[in-house]
Amino acid sequence: MAEAAESPGDPRTTSPRPLFAGLSEISISQDIPVEGEITIPMRSRIREFDSSTLNESVQNTIMRDLKAVGKKFMHVLYPRKSNTLLRDWDLWGPLVLCVTLALMLQRGSADNENDGGPQFAEVFVIIWFGAVTITLNSKLLGGNISFFQSLCVLGYCILPLTVALLVCRLVLLAKPGPINFIVRLFVVIVMFAWSIVASTAFLADSQPPNRKALAIYPVFLFYFVISWMILTFAP
């Protein structure tokens, strides 16, 4: 079958194929176990997965994953109420963003190492433990979202702040001064608001309706800390 060997979709998820398009409606979040594997129990597809993903070229695998990540980036940049981030979760995007952020925020080791800037490990740990804490909090408040889905959403919604960091670095190449600071402050505030709106669009539906504010407040604190690290960064 043509779709077995050359499917552009992610084998773990319900990639939209014309033949099985209706089945993508079946695997909604209730069926997702804690590990996040989303497979449709269809016997004939199991053997096809084994052969199709092992025997295909590396380029195919990488391009497929990159396309999935890119699609999610688009969803974050233009947040609509959709299930894509939740349904087809993956942690590649959050990892890439987190590593980028941590690499750009660290000070060079040639400088005085005691100058108080965050090191790579600090940023990395803050992001991941912050995301884990927020997930635990939202689960304890009664939200019906899986652990890794929540990590996925929070990680992807760091994208606007990464863009803000890139812009800040470019702005810092210019002459320093109060105008410099005001521009950076404005950019970081806008991106901070964008991150919160994006994550709210995805996470709010999984909470009980009267407790949305309780679940969103730690997200606000989390992105505030990251925004503060970006704003006070000076190479």
Partner 1 sequence: MATTATPAGGSRNGTGPEWGGFEENIQGGGSAVIDMENMDDTSGSSFEDMGELHQRLREEEVDADAAAAEEEDGEFLGMKGFKGQLSRQVADQMWQAGKRQASRAFSLYANIDILRPYFDVEPAQVRSRLLESMIPIKMVNFPQKIAGELYGPLMLVFTLVAILLHGMKTSDTIIREGTLMGTAIGTCFGYWLGVSSFIYFLAYLCNAQITMLQMLALLGYGLFGHCIVLLVTYNIHLHALFYLFWLLVGGLSTLRMVAVLVSRTVGPTQRLLLCGTLAALHMLFLLYLHFAYHKVVEGILDTLEGPNIPPMQRVPRDIPAVLPDARPPARVLNTTVKAVEVILQSH
Q: Does 119 bind partner 1 (CB under 8 A)?
A: yes
Three-state SS for 82? Answer: coil
Q: What does the alpha-carbon distance between residue 67 and residue 77 come to, in Å, rounded to a whole number?
A: 15
Q: Does 28 bind partner 1 (CB under 8 A)?
A: no
Q: Which stretch binds partner 1 (CB under 8 A): 27-35, 97-105, 152-160, 161-169?
A: 27-35
Residue 43: CB partners within 8 Å, gap ≥ 6?
A: none
Q: What does the alpha-carbon distance between residue 63 and residue 198 come to, in Å, rounded to a whole number?
A: 26
Q: Which stretch binds partner 1 (CB under 8 A): 14-22, 31-39, 67-75, 79-87?
A: 31-39
Least distance from partner 1 to the Cβ atom of residue 149, Å: 12
Q: Does 5 bind partner 1 (CB under 8 A)?
A: no
Q: Does 136 bind partner 1 (CB under 8 A)?
A: yes
User: What is the distance between the terminal CA atoms of the chain, rounded to a whole angstrom?
Assistant: 55
109 exposure class (CB count in 10 Å sphere: 0-12, 13-18, 19+)? exposed
Nearer to partner 1, 28 or 63 (CB): 28
What the block records as the tokens of 111 is 């400088």
Q: Does 25 bind partner 1 (CB under 8 A)?
A: no
In angstroms, how far is CA 224 from the centroid of its own chain?
17
CB 17: neighbour CB atoms within 10 A? Answer: 14
Residues making contact with partner 1 (CB under 8 A): 30-35, 37, 39, 41, 43, 46-47, 114-116, 118-119, 122, 126, 133, 136-137, 139-142, 144, 146, 178, 181, 208, 210-211, 213-214, 217-218, 221, 224-225, 228, 232
